[in-house]
A and B are shown apart, each in its own frame.
Chain A
């Protein structure tokens, strides 16, 4: 099975450049290649999840370890990686299906698919790499392609949002590079598993480097004080890209690395755990409150992303504080289960909501909710799927959002953080309120004034939305123990048994 691991980087990268060459000869080549590529990667990930247990590692170049020092660049595949790879390739596939008809308006349509594929390559490489410097390199591949994709329509607001995103993104990358430099200074190695064995036990050094990493990846993941670029970038981008950014990118290049570094590389630290808990709670509350006042539908969804990511970070923070205090492992595992389930669910319903917003914008050309209304009859598929997604994100049973939020709240109660449980419930009520606004003003209010006849969107877009809506229902099955053990529990294990990472990778 090991030999298949490099394909996660090779296939998207190769297909991007095959598109660049063949795309000018054959029309629509890019779309076909991208869809095939992502379908293949999704299937490959499913095979990995169903067949292999434990951690797989692969060294590039085939250099053997010298003594117990790893020389080669490692690629590591464990439970957390597999979960993230599944999210990237599955959501990527559905979003690519949606973009087939959405991108017809662009003149440089071919380049859209090249950049999309490069972004997938960057995220895959980042998730699969076991080496901290390669994480930086793939981070930049994913980030640079996302900068361009945000500004793909070359309109005023898109360029401005992209510039803002780029300046903050570059700042974040530089802080990450600086932190990598410090890590290399302190340990003399770049392999995450090796670093975790060799980190010097100087608490101040570790705190300083952790802070640099937290600010850097916090900026990429848009956790509370660093969130200012997200509403601009995610709302200005073309809708399939908004779905990719909100649904996948901030998780793969932000949260995933925070989990990986603070659990598997650094020893758990009470101060950092408390910081993560507080920042997660704050971004949950502030994102939710900011979303209420928005009238631009995509901006509302972008603020909602900050809030929902806050849930994930908060649940992870709860688990971290329990583990620091040597509390019950089962409660910590429960909190991580909630966090990862919410991560998976959020990627599905948030990308669905962005695709709905894209469909509405495609048909009407309007993004302001005050000018919309009465679309429920004219666009039945968009309306129904967005209703499902809204119910799901607000935590109404039997949709998937309900179960993950319930698990997070129960974990907070069992960990005796009663005020956090209360806040989570309160923000959930806020979420319901702003999604009721979203539904009412777009689909159910009195009809707005439209220039042209409103029609339902073309078939590929509808199919993509219907698949995601079905996934919203089907992911509720993740709470059934046998399915949960197969998909989510290996990832939870990575976080719970945080010190076993280096022995699992290096042997």
Chain B
């Protein structure tokens, strides 16, 4: 895939980190404000997608990225399952998805027990998944054109 003009590339360089940071904010404040893992993950993925669109990529490199992202994605889901399954082991009454960490004060960043952790994992997973989907479609399209 070919990249775009120098103007687009330069602007992307400035904007993409800010978009990524905004996504991170949405993920980390997921238990306090609207948003959360999924919304933040999509925003984070859009930063990567913007980079790929603006700069263009070499197909072989994209394929490498795809397999790396697949690894991250599976890892994130496994992490989520481990957090959910910890409840089965740790809590005394075998509760799946039990929120056994201290819940803190309502409205503070470090509160709500497991939920911020789960949000972060969901954010990673969604970011990886959406980028994978995008890359897969790009690779497919280029294969068709050949």
Contacts and interface: CB of A to CB of B under 8 A. Distances in A.
B104 to A, nearest CB: 18
- Helix, strand, loop or mixed for chain B's interface? helix
B81 A62 contact: no
Interface stretch (A11-19, A173-181, A406-414, A468-476): A11-19
B82 to A, nearest CB: 8
B34 to A, nearest CB: 21
B96 A10 contact: yes
Nearest to B78: A17
B91 interface: yes
Contacts, number: 44
Given A3-B88, A14-B78, A20 B96 contact: no
A17 B97 CA distance: 19
Nearest to B94: A3
Contacts of B81: 10, 13-14, 17
A60 interface: yes
B96 A61 contact: yes
Given A20-B70, A21-B71, A62-B91, A6 B96 contact: yes
Contacts of B49: none
B96 A60 contact: yes
A62 B98 contact: yes
Secondary structure of the A side of the interface? helix
A61 B95 contact: yes
Interface string B82-93: 001101100101
Interface residues of A, number: 15
B85 A20 contact: no
Contacts of A3: 88, 94
A6 B81 CA distance: 11
A128 to B, nearest CB: 12
B94 A21 contact: no
A2 interface: yes
Interface of A: 2-3, 6, 10, 13-14, 17-18, 20-21, 24, 58, 60-62
> Which 9 pairs from chain A and chain B are nearest by CB?
A3-B94, A62-B95, A20-B74, A6-B96, A17-B74, A61-B97, A17-B78, A17-B77, A14-B81
